[in-house]
Amino acid sequence: MNGWTFLLSCLMTGGSLLTMQGIWKDNIGHFYIPVLMAAAGIVCSMLVHRLKNKYRLGAVILLIPWPAVFVLTGFHGYFAGSKAWINLMITQWNKVHEDSIALLSGNIVQHDLWASTVVIALLCGEVTYFLITLRKYGLCALYCILWVMAQLFSGAFSPAACIGLFVPVVAVYISNQRPEMTRRGLLWVAGLTAVLAVCAVIAPREDMLSMAKAKSALELSIRNMRYGQPVLPEGHVDEAARLKSNDHEMLTVTSEQEKNIYLKGYSGGRYVDGCWKPLPNTDYGGEYSGMLKWLAKLNFHPLTQAAEYYALSDAEQEDIPETNELRINVAEAYRYPVYAPASLYQVQSRHAKSKKDTEMISKGIVGANRYTLEEISNAKPSELMIAQDWVSNPENEAQEQYVQAEAVYREFVYNHYLTVDADLADTVQHLFWDDYDETNDGIYSAVCQIRNKLEETVFYTYDPEKPPEGKDPILWFLTQSHEGNAVLYASAAVEALRAHGIPARYAEGYYVSDTDFQKSEDGSAAVTGSNAHAWAEVYFDGIGWLPVEFTPGYYYDTVTLRQMISTSDVIRKTAAVEDDPNRADPLATADGQGSGQPSKVVKVVKDTAAIILGVVAAFILLMIFVLIILELVRVICIGEMIKHFKNAGQEERITAIEKRIFLLLKLRGIDARLGWETEKVDQCLTEQFDWAEPGDYTRVCSILEKVVYGGCELEAYEMRTLNYFLDKISEAGPKEDWKMRIKLRYSCLMKD
């Protein structure tokens, strides 16, 4: 028996078994049975390998362990166990990555899972031995990668299993494909195993990079490279001071109407560890799987719901606003989100798409620098909104379809946007609702209650201090620091609304007031970092998500609100309508051309330069990646060539040298063959290369013919002549360009 192959097979099989144990944990009982079956597979494979030259039917030995497997498992459970295996991995993936991948039909039965594991263990034992025996380290590497992918997919990464899987691959490669154990190979295996084991012990378990973290980090880095760096807190409440961290120009907004506009760039539906994050994918699975697609078929989109409500409303019952066009030029703002209002009607750009039911995002390579939006909203604060009667009693088919879709989405909203953080629940209930008079309860009354309590408890500051480490920022704001900006006001209000049974979520972006448009002569407003803002989005039954203010200075007092209830909703037009009667064309490109504003020329140049630099950086990174792959393949090919050359006879070596010489000549445009126009090629080489002397090529050809045609053995000096000529012709001359240098470097990848 070959001890070297046996050792490597045991290591690789052991890595597979450790992976299975890490994935299934306590779901598989009697795990020693799969271990014994794997060992039996290795032993039987060794016997087959030893007896293959003596007995034609030696491969039958591989079948010996299988009857034992069938008896132990009761002749059933293999197919169901495979489905259970896949379902368990999907379940763990969904748990680790908060995803909602659908499971296969069927339940996880422990016996079925165990039976399929026994079968897989036996297959691993037999397969790994033959992979090692055949010295196919490419297939060995693929086998190991599949098991590591299984670890990462299920969130069960095991350093010990990786050591067992990859050490044999390295050992096969460095042992020069020899079947016997060598001192060099044994030292390499022992040393590599020891180093990896020490690294596995030293590295903290909790810091191991999982697929979720790697995926998130990669996505974030690529996103920032494409769209620039975020300038808003992105839901991080403990970084509230970043909200107005600079006064640079972020956007330019042109509106046809003078009104307050909230341009949302980020939305958070759940509060986790001091940060507002989007709802996980699992919330859109289960009974709500496919909900958003079904709603879209009914022409119902959560991001345009409020505008659709206005479009379907009866103008005789309520002052229905006209459609308003917004033209947005992005300057230094983060280009990943499409800054759209809650009253969005449609986006005239192919570079935008909806992200679930929360926000609009850019799908362009580097984002969109310019786009046109249409929105429908009135000038009254959102808390004064009351749904029309048709929401309860639809009068036509379009309204009935809207009501049907809204009822489904409303159920989703109430099931997912009412969660209050457990650490905040008691404080929020005591502070906002213990003394609340529920006589005239409703959104308006609840909003006034929250505003009053915030005015009594905390005060506004432009630049709040960061809470101590380990302290929840909202709790710190409400109970200890008592000072904060819009991020903290909005966050506390969302939790308070949820505690009272009103669906709400956190939003941040840029706020443009009607006075900003009034000051403009062309209906445009420059939006700077000082316009950065955070607010609460509240779900109004039958209407949709609308922005509600809780930050002092951004909302009207109670007296003014009561007066506005009976006021006609009339919105003034801006000068943009007169200046551009034909309305703006849809802006579907990100090149920033056609702004028509001479004062923006510098910005356009800077943005264009930034985009070009981003594209160049991406191209450089791609080229580096390609170069690394080429170099790895080149090293492998050269290693294979060297091994083949060492183990070959003289005639085979000479044939390889001959093919190599004529390939290199062909790359230089010299058509040469053995015994054909030798003197002409010799003269051409003499003229082209400084190192070449007249007669060098002729001498090389005569040596090659001596072996190829005469079958003679070469002297040592003749071999040196061939090797010297091959080395010289493999080098790039000083007069040769970079293209030729690349061809010569990677000529080992070309066919002779």
Q: In the structure, what pLDDT confidence band is assigned to residue 422 with cuts at 50, 70 and 90?
A: very high
Specify whether 546 is located in the same domain as 654.
Answer: no
Specify whether 263 is located in the same domain as 136.
Answer: no
Specify whether 586 is located in the same domain as 652.
Answer: no
Enumerate residues 6+ apart whose C-beta is below 8 A from 233.
239, 240, 242, 243, 487, 508, 534
pLDDT at residue 51, rounded to an integer:
78
- Of the listed ranges 158-162, 246-250, 408-412, 611-615, the one predicted with least confidence: 611-615
Q: In the structure, what pLDDT confidence band is assigned to residue 330 with cuts at 50, 70 and 90?
A: very high
Q: Is the pLDDT of residue 373 over 90?
A: yes
Specify whether 154 is located in the same domain as 293.
Answer: no
pLDDT at residue 415, rounded to an integer:
95
- Of the listed ranges 20-29, 268-277, 372-381, 484-493, the one predicted with least confidence: 20-29
Q: Is the pLDDT of residue 206 over 80?
A: no
Specify whether 201 is located in the same domain as 317.
Answer: no
Residue given tokens 């704001």 in the structure block? 477
Mean pLDDT score of the chain: 81
Single out the residue in 190, 208, 226 at which a domain terminates: 208
Q: In the structure, what pLDDT confidence band is assigned to residue 520 with cuts at 50, 70 and 90?
A: confident
Q: Which domain holds residue 668?
A: 648-749
Kindly tell me the burial class for residue 512, based on how many C-beta atoms sit within 10 Å of its own C-beta (0-12, 13-18, 19 or more).
Answer: buried
Residue 616 is assigned to a structural domain of this protein: no
Q: Is the pLDDT of residue 39 over 80?
A: yes
pLDDT at residue 630, rounded to an integer:
72
Q: How far is it, in rounded angstroms, from Cα 253 to Cα 250?
A: 10
Q: Is the pLDDT of residue 246 over 60?
A: yes
Q: How far is it, in rounded angstroms, from Cα 243 to Cα 232?
A: 5
pLDDT at residue 305, rounded to an integer:
95
Single out the residue in 598, 627, 657 at which a domain terminates: 598
Contact 703, 714 (CB under 8 A): yes
Residue 639 is assigned to a structural domain of this protein: no
Q: How far apart are the first and last CA of the chain?
A: 40
Top mean-pLDDT range of 17-26, 318-327, 331-340: 331-340
Q: Is the pLDDT of residue 217 over 80?
A: no
pLDDT digits (tens, 9 = 90+) for 306-318: 999 998 987 665 5
Q: How many whole angstroms from its chain centre is CA 51?
A: 51
Q: Is the pLDDT of residue 650 over 50?
A: yes
Residue 625 is assigned to a structural domain of this protein: no
Residue 384 is assigned to a structural domain of this protein: yes
Mean pLDDT value across residues 544-555: 94
Q: In the structure, what pLDDT confidence band is assigned to residue 722 with cuts at 50, 70 and 90?
A: confident
Residue 490 is assigned to a structural domain of this protein: yes
Q: Is the pLDDT of residue 599 over 60?
A: no
pLDDT at residue 53, rounded to an integer:
64
pLDDT at residue 2, rounded to an integer:
66
What's the length of the chain? 752
Q: Is the pLDDT of residue 18 over 60?
A: yes
Kindly tell me the burial class for residue 380, based on how many C-beta atoms sit within 10 Å of its own C-beta (0-12, 13-18, 19 or more).
Answer: middle
Stated pTM of the model? 0.63
Question: Which among 700, 701, 696 has a CA at the least distance from the CA of 685?
Answer: 696
Specify whether 162 is located in the same domain as 284.
Answer: no
Contact 572, 257 (CB under 8 A): yes
Q: How far is it, in rounded angstroms, from Cα 10 to Cα 8?
A: 5
Q: In the structure, what pLDDT confidence band is assigned to residue 97 with cuts at 50, 70 and 90?
A: low
pLDDT at residue 621, rounded to an integer:
54
What is the three-state SS of 398-444?
HHHHHHHHHHHHHHHHHHHCCCCCHHHHHHHHHHHHCCCCCCCCCHH
Q: Is the pLDDT of residue 203 over 80?
A: no
Specify whether 301 is located in the same domain as 424.
Answer: yes
pLDDT at residue 666, rounded to an integer:
83
Specify whether 280 is located in the same domain as 177.
Answer: no
Of 23 and 155, which is predicted with more confidence? 23
Specify whether 471 is located in the same domain as 587.
Answer: yes
pLDDT at residue 592, rounded to an integer:
36
Specify whether 44 is located in the same domain as 163.
Answer: yes
Per-residue DSSP letters for 178-221? Answer: -SS--HHHHHHHHHHHHHHHHHHHHS-GGGS--HHHHHHHHHHH
Single out the residue in 598, 618, 633 at which a domain terminates: 598
Q: In the structure, what pLDDT confidence band is assigned to residue 586 with cuts at 50, 70 and 90?
A: very low
Hey, which bits of 454-594 come out as E strands?
A: 459-460, 483-484, 504-512, 524-528, 532-540, 544-548
Q: How far is it, in rounded angstroms, from Cα 35 to Cα 120?
A: 11
- Total count of domains within the chain: 3
Q: How far is it, in rounded angstroms, from Cα 706 to Cα 713?
A: 8
Residue 497 is assigned to a structural domain of this protein: yes
Q: Is the pLDDT of residue 234 over 90?
A: yes
Top mean-pLDDT range of 12-26, 464-478, 552-566: 464-478
Residue 609 is assigned to a structural domain of this protein: no
Specify whether 191 is located in the same domain as 310.
Answer: no
Q: Is the pLDDT of residue 593 over 70?
A: no
- Of the listed ranges 74-88, 137-151, 153-167, 170-184, the one predicted with least confidence: 170-184
Of 688 and 560, which is predicted with more confidence? 688
Specify whether 589 is located in the same domain as 667.
Answer: no
Residue 444 is assigned to a structural domain of this protein: yes
Mean pLDDT value across residues 514-532: 89
Q: Is the pLDDT of residue 212 over 70?
A: no
Mean pLDDT value across residues 342-348: 88
pLDDT at residue 541, rounded to an integer:
95
